[in-house]
Homo-oligomer: A and B are copies of this chain.
Amino acid sequence: MTDNSNWYIEHFERTGSAIGYRITGKLDEVQSPFQKIEIFQTTDWGNLMTIDGAIMLTSKDNFFYHEMISHPVLFTHAAPKRVVIIGGGDCGTLREVLKHKGVESVTQCDIDEQVTVMARKHFPELCDSNNDPRAELMFDDGVAYMANCPAGSVDVVIVDSTDPVGPGEGLFNKAFYESCFKALKDDGILVQQSESPLMQLELINEMRTEMGKAGFGSFKTLPFPQPCYPTGWWSVTLARKGDSSFDFRQADSAAKTFDTLYYTAALHTGVLVTPPFVKAALKG
């Protein structure tokens, strides 16, 4: 919703809060078979992508999310080689994952090719690594893709989805998590964006419960700033098989040879200690 000609404001019913940007106009729009994608030009945040009216990313602040859904999980796994990204059509997560030289192949499976078409046009920096020979871009149903994935074939599954409504809904339940569990090797890790740790702790608990029903035994929720999402504070939740640790390869992280804007080994160490009020509210 645009409340007047100069500001794009999204009202988040579930959190009772709103976030918006000053815009100079609409650059592009497309109605895909799945959703309406719009691109706006902002005065201070670069380009803004919305899907069905929901703010997805801005040029200015997407690095928080893309770094935090990628680097913590990849430095937690001992030696990630085979990675699957479900969703992630803007290709920003793919770019971060491919910074890890040990990763041998990444399949990105987003249901909507138009998200990637729009990203190539309006967020070209996120698509820098789309032609990496290790990358495969598929446009298909992520639920079906995971269900058909060979058992024990994947090191890390990254669920980089929209909210648990609309096309993203099937990515937040036991059936989907069972597919992920089966596709992952014994030391494999699932990571999924898990909404606001300030206002949506109930949802995070529901995710953990469903993941647990699917067989996952250990969980860790990592918070980080994400200005364009409700409350400006967001999270990813990692899940491992059995009673596993979330200690990470600290020396490798500290010695990483690629640049990041937000992620550091020290930050990673810090977020492993869950803020007291979040810890008190989380199950499992």
Which chain A residues have a beta carbon within 8 Å of chain B's beta carbons?
3-4, 7, 9, 11, 15-22, 42-45, 60-61, 63, 198-199, 223, 225-227, 231-233, 259-262, 264-273, 275-277
8 pairs, A vs B, C-beta closer than 8 Å: A9-B18, A17-B227, A60-B198, A61-B198, A259-B276, A265-B273, A269-B269, A269-B270
Copies of this chain present in the complex amount to 2
List 11 extra interface pairs beyond A7-B11, A9-B9, A264-B276, CB under 8 A: A3-B9, A7-B18, A11-B20, A16-B44, A17-B22, A60-B198, A60-B199, A225-B232, A262-B275, A266-B273, A270-B270
Which chain B positions have C-beta within 8 A of A227? 17, 198, 231-233
Q: In this complex, what residue of B is CB-closest to A23?
A: B16
CA distance A167 to B231 in the complex (A): 28
**Residue on B with the closest CB to A58?**
B17
Query: A185 to nearest B CB, angstroms?
Result: 30
- Residues in B with CB closer than 8 Å to A276 are 259-262, 264
How many whole Å from A279's CB to the nearest CB in chain B?
9
Whether A43 pairs with B16 at a CB distance below 8 angstroms is yes
